[in-house]
Structure formats: structure tokens, C-alpha cells
């Protein structure tokens, strides 16, 4: 169980489409392995069938992903050849097989890059906004390279920022953010401007300082972990929902829409996120190219926040930029009726 959870934690920038592309890479490799076996053992009918099926489903996937037509065509051709013309297992076929393999992998890699460049909020295309490279020292001179380790894009359509690259393992795990008592009180006062009573749900923030302060303020409380939030077994409705720890996910739309499901008709949702503009200003001041903390997949801008909220059935009521050491953005949104 722990293993599963860690794996999930370790996954970076995952979308359904990206998962599908990873599966396609694996399928490509198993098809080639299958064919290598077939070349030495032509009578294995079962393996032949599996290989043809693998190639056909790969061709279907490539078509669905709108891959380059010649790659789709070549994949179908490969399936036809194996299915009907056994005699072609010669040197020339082998060469063609590897050519097919490398060009298909290259195309899948292109699709992956394209997927990374697509804005997860609105599907628009962004341009590089911030990129940090560091020198990575290797054993020999050739191994020391300037390596891009973190790249943020800015979406030209909705204005939000999103990660296009983050080198795994380079950044230390974030330490849990601690809120001060005064900070919690200020935050609860902000929420109090919109809702003063009714039940409150904490997502991901069980027994935190904020939880304690809310308890003192007299809200009836319930807390669920991020795992429980993901599983969504039973959904009760609350007047106030606090997403205390925004999960590290590229699919911020699913996160917010999921949190909104817990809102009563007149409920409000509170969440916060990193203020990228502020963070970059701080870096500039310090004269360092990068902060070593973990970061968010998507960073909001005020304009971009409205687009995102609307697509999740929410309406932004309050948008605040807070914090001096680390800039943060705090949002209070209401359910759209």
C-alpha cells in the first residue's frame, strides 16, 4: 500500500493522455520483442497473433492521438506483413522493423512533448516563461552539462503558468508549511466575510494549526485526507470547504471540481497556491536562478484563475496575494448556481 502511495507521489505531470503515451512506448517494445522471438521461431502462432494484435492496437492509438500519418501507415503495414507473409523474415525485414521501432518511438516522444506544452487549464498553447538551468558535474568534462531542470510555460490563452519540465530528484521534498496563529486567524476572518456558520470540511489538513483555530472559532468540523478526497466514497455537503494542501497535480481542474462537489448550494471553497510572479522577483533579488523547494504543477494568475474557476462551476469571490518570504495566492470561490 505504501509503495502504491509513494509511486503516486513520485509521478510528475501526469495526465490520461500522458499515461496512454507511456503505455504505447511499452507496447512498442513488447511488439519488437515478440517479433524477435518470431524470427527465430516462426511456428509460434499464438505469439504471431499477439504481435499482430499489439501492432493493430498501437496503430489505433496512434490514430487517436493524431500521430504522423506515415507512422500509422507503417505500423499497419507491419501488422499486415506479419499476419499474411511469413516469408519476409529476412535481413531486410529486420532492418525495416528497427526503422519502424525508432520512428514510432520518436513520434510518441513528439506527442509527449506536445502534451507537456499544452495548457492543463484551457488546452491552449503556452510559451516558455521561466527556465532554470544548472551545471551538473560529472566524472569527465563531457559529462558536466548545463541542464535545464525547471521550466514554466505561460499560457497565451488563459494566462496561467504550468510546468513543462521538472527534473525529478533534483528538488528536495517540501517541508510542511506551517501557518502561524495570527495567519490562521486572518485567514478565518477572510472566510468569515462570506460564511460565518455551517459545517466546515478540511481536505488534507487534519489536525493542523488552521484546523485548531477553526475549532476555536466554533465551526463544526470534519477533516479528510487527500487519499479519502481522491476516493470520494461518500460526499456530504458543507458550507465551507478548505483545501488546505493543494495536491501536486497537473489536473488542477479535476482537483477544484472535486472539491466543489462537497459544497452546499451556498458554500464557499478556500484554497491557496504559489505566487510565481512573486517567487521570481525574490529569486532576482537574491541573484539565484532557482529555488530548491518542490513546486506546483500549475500557478495561477488573477486572469487565469477566473477561467479555471468557471470551468469548475465556481465563481471567484476573493483573490489575495499574501506573504513576503514566499508569495502565495489565496482564493475564495463560490459555487455557481
Q: Of the two residues 229 and 300, which places its CB atom closer to Zn ion in the complex?
A: 300
- Please state the closest distance from residue 269 (CB atom) to Zn ion, in A: 21
**Which CB atom, from 200 or from 305, has the smaller least distance to Zn ion?**
305
Cβ nearer to Zn ion, comparing 155 with 312? 155
Contacts with Zn ion in 137-166 (CB under 5 A)?
A: 155, 157-158
| SS (HEC) of 13-53 | CCCHHHHHHHHHHHHHHHHHHHHHHHHHCCCCHHHHHHHHH
What DSSP letter does each residue of 290-319 carry, written as one string?
A: ---S---SEE--HHHHHHHHHHTTEEEEEE
Give ∠ CA 80-81-85 in degrees, rounded to 5: 120
Residues 335, 266 contacting (CB under 8 angstroms): yes
Q: What is the smallest separation between the CB atom of 160 and Zn ion, expressed in angstroms?
A: 5
**Which alpha helices (DSSP H) does the chain contain, by range?**
2-10, 16-40, 45-64, 69-84, 91-117, 181-192, 209-216, 226-231, 252-260, 276-286, 302-311
C-alpha gyration radius of the chain = 25
- Work out how close the CB of 118 gets to Zn ion at its nearest, in angstroms, rounded to a whole number: 9
Cβ-based nearer residue to Zn ion, 71 or 299? 299
Q: CB 186 → Zn ion: shortest distance, Å?
A: 31
Question: Is 120 or 205 the residue whose CB approaches Zn ion more closely?
Answer: 120
Angle (deg, nearest 10), helices 16-40 and 91-117: 170
Q: Please give the angle made by the CA atoms of 115, 117 and 123, to the nearest 5 degrees.
A: 75
Q: 45-64 and 16-40 helices cross at what angle (nearest 10)?
A: 150
Beta carbon of residue 121, minimum distance to Zn ion (angstroms, whole number): 4
- The contact pattern for Zn ion, residues 252-281, with x = CB under 5 A and - = no contact, is ------------------------------
Binding mask 30-69 for Zn ion (x = CB under 5 A): ----------------------------------------
Size of the site for Zn ion (CB under 5 A): 7
Binding mask 167-196 for Zn ion (x = CB under 5 A): ------------------------------
Residues 65-124 interacting with Zn ion (rule: CB under 5 A): 119, 121-122, 124
Residues near Zn ion (CB under 5 A): 119, 121-122, 124, 155, 157-158
Amino acid at each position: 500500500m505504501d509503495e502504491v502511495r509513494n509511486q503516486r507521489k513520485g509521478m510528475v505531470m501526469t495526465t490520461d493522455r500522458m499515461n496512454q503515451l507511456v503505455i504505447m512506448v511499452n507496447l512498442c517494445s513488447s511488439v519488437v520483442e515478440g517479433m524477435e522471438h518470431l524470427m527465430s521461431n516462426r511456428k509460434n502462432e499464438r505469439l504471431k497473433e499477439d504481435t499482430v494484435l499489439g501492432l493493430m492496437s498501437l496503430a489505433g492509438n496512434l490514430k487517436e492521438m493524431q500521430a504522423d500519418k506515415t507512422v500509422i501507415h507503417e505500423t499497419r503495414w507491419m501488422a499486415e506483413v506479419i499476419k499474411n507473409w511469413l516469408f519476409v523474415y529476412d535481413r531486410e525485414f529486420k532492418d525495416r522493423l528497427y526503422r519502424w521501432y525508432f520512428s514510432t518511438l520518436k513520434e510518441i516522444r513528439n506527442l509527449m512533448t506536445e502534451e507537456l506544452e499544452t495548457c492543463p487549464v484551457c488546452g491552449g498553447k503556452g510559451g516558455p516563461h521561466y527556465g532554470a538551468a544548472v551545471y551538473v558535474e560529472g566524472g569527465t568534462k563531457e559529462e558536466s552539462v548545463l541542464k535545464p531542470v525547471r521550466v514554466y510555460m505561460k499560457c497565451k490563452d488563459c494566462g496561467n503558468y504550468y510546468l513543462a519540465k521538472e527534473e525529478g530528484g533534483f528538488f528536495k521534498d517540501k517541508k510542511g508549511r506551517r501557518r502561524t496563529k495570527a495567519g490562521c486567524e486572518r485567514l478565518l476572518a477572510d472566510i468569515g466575510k462570506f460564511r460565518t456558520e455551517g459545517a466546515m470540511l478540511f481536505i488534507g489538513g487534519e489536525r493542523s494549526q488552521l484546523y485548531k483555530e477553526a475549532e476555536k472559532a466554533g465551526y463544526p468540523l470534519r477533516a479528510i485526507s487527500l487519499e479519502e478526497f481522491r476516493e470520494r466514497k461518500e460526499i456530504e455537503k458543507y458550507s465551507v470547504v478548505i483545501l488546505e494542501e493543494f495536491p501536486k497535480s497537473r489536473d488542477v481542474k479535476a482537483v477544484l471540481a472535486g472539491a466543489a462537489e462537497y459544497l452546499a448550494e451556498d458554500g464557499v471553497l478556500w484554497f491557496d497556491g504559489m505566487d510565481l510572479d512573486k517567487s521570481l522577483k525574490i529569486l532576482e533579488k537574491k541573484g539565484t536562478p532557482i529555488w530548491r523547494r518542490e513546486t506546483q504543477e500549475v500557478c495561477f494568475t488573477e486572469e487565469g484563475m477566473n477561467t479555471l474557476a468557471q470551468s469548475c462551476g465556481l465563481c471567484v469571490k476573493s483573490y489575495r496575494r499574501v506573504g513576503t518570504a514566499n508569495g502565495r495566492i489565496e482564493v475564495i470561490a463560490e459555487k455557481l448556481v
